[in-house]
Structure 1
Amino acid sequence: MPPFRAIVVFYHVALLDSIARAADRLGVTPSAVSQQVRVLEEQVGTSLVTRSGRNVRLTEAGERYFEEISEHVESIIRSTETMRGIRKPTTIAIRATPTIATKWLLPRLGDFLAREPGTEVHLDGSNEPVDFTRDAVDLEIRHGTGGWPGLHVEPLTSERFLPVCSPSLAGPGTLSFEDFVRFRLIQSVKAQIQWATGFDAVGIAEPRIAARLSFDRSHMAIEAASLGLGIALESELMMESELRSGRLVVPVSRTPELRMSTQWLVCPRSNLRKRRVVRLLEWLREKAIEWQENSPANSIDFLPK
């Protein structure tokens, strides 16, 4: 029977991908950690980790063993802390762009906290991509095209981009794309789909309009459209509440279906071994499916492709 101390040490090494960080977490020396890992490997009869500089990587056997023991070790740690009167919350750190954090994640976060009452969430609203070797972030919702090698990357959902404006500017279905020449066009310079794509999708050239209003954040472009300052072309994901409340309407009777994924769930693959990250990912996938099924844009008439 392997000594429990060796199992706990291996659990922390696997969780942190580092002998040095595991030693710091456990309050022992790195050599003591390495010794306990060797003891466990001798007991189970196979190699569990391989060294790569200061970091370690689990072998295939190590991955399987970690999956088998992690739930039990975490349960024992929690029970021990409860007996000692320690109720240390589980902390999960998320980074997301200010727009997706404010417009989509925050309205749903209460449900996650209700499901995970012992979890403390740290939400960092920033456009700066996470450096996972330096930043203490478990999961990032990153804006972009999804091409980040060496990381676990999956789309949050597929979004549709819609022309929208305040009903004080134009009523639903009262304009055509040709009419947009009479209005100020609002755009977010970082948006994946720009006005040129929208005009091209309906087969007309983008008009050279002097009256433009540009922002470097989508939530500012959405708010400007809500205030009646012009017509914006934005993602349904970012303006859900404005569409539901009627602060924004689609001023054309039919619009091209400009669909793509711009928000991605990103983390190191090793973070997928952390149960708190797995639970967060499962919850985000569930919420994304619910949103897709109930998006206010589902009632909009799209042009055939």
Structure 2
Amino acid sequence: MTTLPPLLWLQAFEAAARTLSFTQAGQALGVTQSAVSQRIRLLEDRLGQKLFVRHPRSLTLTPAGQAWLPSVQEAFSRLSEGTAEVFGPRSEAPVTLRATPVMQQTWLAPRLLAFHRAHPEVVVRLVSAIWPEDFGPEGADIEIRYGRGDWDAVTAVSLGGEHMLPACAPSVAERLAEPADLAGETLLHAVGFAVGWPAWLERAGMPDLDRRCGSLLCDSQVMTLSLAARGGGVALTHRRLLAARDDLVAPFALDVPSDEGFWLVRPTRRIVRPEALLLWEWLVADGSPGDEALR
């Protein structure tokens, strides 16, 4: 098995590759520029390849350095995560909460403000994610995920069931008396949901109606709802959202249930800090069954 270079050399490489400056890398590591330069030279000698191209006033990575950097950064990230899982992160670190953008704007925003007023001493760092692969235990104390709740190695608490129905601007709703009136309208699709327009149209008894409609595909409901509010079409969204907005209305009462929903999630292996547990319990208490949110 290949012997790994010393950790100090790897730290010097990662910092220099990230900043493309031996001077800035030294500042980040609390050592001199010459110390970073020396560690890089020793590392290159050990590896038998150059990692940087030295220019008079700058650095660039060689192809070997570019190829190796992601592995080194991932190793440091995993080491940091493993340390936090076993020993817990620093108590003064912010509580990191990851959620989808529309979830942040609707369900989460008022609850987070209330939590901040009650516990101003707890610093919360909010991180956005859209796609399923954006989620995971790295870097987040708490997540709000959308799905069926069948994730491994996490504690998950359901925020309630979900029902989807059309939503549009009031001016568009004026010409929609029944589902058949959707013919000729633009249907706004948020990709990635198990329940979408095909399921709603099937429930409405018009499975082929979308062939007579225009379509726009978006990667989040933030955009579909924004377009709908501007009269750009009809979005499919979660029923509870409409109560929080005055620029959207439901032209039809018909909705379709989804077996996907929003869940509060936290890693099971990590020691939960008191600040994170305080926020977790606040959100669990406020996320009663039947409360609905958006992706």
TM-score by length of 1: 0.59
Conserved? CA contact 1:89–1:118, under 8 Å? no
Aligned counterpart in structure 1 of residue 150 of structure 2, from 134, 138, 147 = 147
C-alpha distance in structure 2 between counterparts of 1:193 and 1:112, whole Å: 32
User: C-alpha displacement at 1:257, in angstroms?
Assistant: 4.2
Q: Which AA in structure 1 matches 2:265? A: V
C-alpha distance in structure 1 between counterparts of 2:85 and 2:263, whole Å: 25
Aligned counterpart in structure 2 of residue 106 of structure 1, from 83, 88, 109 = 109
Aligned counterpart in structure 2 of residue 225 of structure 1, from 218, 223, 228 = 228
Residue 123 of structure 2 aligns to a residue in which SS?
Answer: strand
Conserved? CA contact 2:160–2:287, under 8 Å? yes
Aligned counterpart in structure 2 of residue 178 of structure 1, from 166, 177, 180 = 180
Aligned counterpart in structure 1 of residue 123 of structure 2, from 120, 123, 147 = 120
Conserved? CA contact 1:163–1:233, under 8 Å? yes
Residue 123 of structure 1 aligns to a residue in which SS?
Answer: strand
Q: Which AA in structure 2 matches 1:156? A: L
Aligned counterpart in structure 2 of residue 209 of structure 1, from 212, 216, 237 = 212
Residue 251 of structure 1 aligns to a residue in which SS?
Answer: coil
Corresponding residue for 1:249? 249
User: C-alpha displacement at 1:204, in angstroms?
Assistant: 2.5
Conserved? CA contact 2:168–2:228, under 8 Å? yes
Q: What is the correspondence of 1:1-305 to structure 2 with a 5 Å cutoff?
A: 91-127=94-130, 128-132=133-137, 135-171=138-174, 174-207=176-209, 208-242=211-245, 245=246, 247-252=247-252, 254-271=253-270, 273-289=272-288, 292=291
Cα 1:57/1:117, change in 2 over 3 Å: closer
Residue 254 of structure 2 aligns to a residue in which SS?
Answer: coil
Q: Give the unaligned 5+ runs of structure 1.
A: 1-53, 59-87, 297-305
User: C-alpha displacement at 1:203, in angstroms?
Assistant: 2.5
Conserved? CA contact 1:160–1:260, under 8 Å? no
User: C-alpha displacement at 1:150, in angstroms?
Assistant: 1.9
The one-character-per-residue Cα deviations of 1:90-131 (angstroms, maximum 9, x if unpaired) are: 621111112212232123311011121210001111234344
Cα 1:255/1:150, change in 2 over 3 Å: same
The one-character-per-residue Cα deviations of 1:11-66 (angstroms, maximum 9, x if unpaired) are: xxxxxxxxxxxxxxxxxxxxxxxxxxxxxxxxxxxxxxxxxxx88999xxxxxxxx
Residue 181 of structure 2 aligns to a residue in which SS?
Answer: helix
Cα 1:57/1:275, change in 2 over 3 Å: closer
The number of residue pairs the alignment matches comes to 208
Q: Percent identity?
A: 26
Cα 1:271/1:114, change in 2 over 3 Å: farther
TM-score by length of 2: 0.61
User: C-alpha displacement at 1:255, in angstroms?
Assistant: 0.7
User: C-alpha displacement at 1:285, in angstroms?
Assistant: 2.3
User: C-alpha displacement at 1:139, in angstroms?
Assistant: 0.8
User: C-alpha displacement at 1:185, in angstroms?
Assistant: 1.0
Q: Which AA in structure 2 matches 1:206? A: D
Cα 1:106/1:56, change in 2 over 3 Å: closer
User: C-alpha displacement at 1:223, in angstroms?
Assistant: 0.8
Conserved? CA contact 1:171–1:249, under 8 Å? no
Residue 168 of structure 1 aligns to a residue in which SS?
Answer: helix
C-alpha distance in structure 2 between counterparts of 1:121 and 1:92, whole Å: 5
Deviates more, 1:274-283 or 1:207-216: 274-283
Conserved? CA contact 1:195–1:233, under 8 Å? yes
Conserved? CA contact 1:90–1:119, under 8 Å? no
Runs of 4+ in 1 over 4 A off after TM superposition: 54-58, 237-240
Conserved? CA contact 1:95–1:139, under 8 Å? yes
User: C-alpha displacement at 1:238, in angstroms?
Assistant: 4.7
C-alpha distance in structure 1 between counterparts of 2:114 and 2:152, whole Å: 32
Conserved? CA contact 2:97–2:141, under 8 Å? yes
Q: Give the unaligned 5+ runs of structure 2.
A: 1-81
Conserved? CA contact 2:157–2:284, under 8 Å? no
Q: Which AA in structure 2 matches 1:283? A: W
Q: Which AA in structure 1 matches 2:273? A: K
Conserved? CA contact 2:171–2:231, under 8 Å? yes
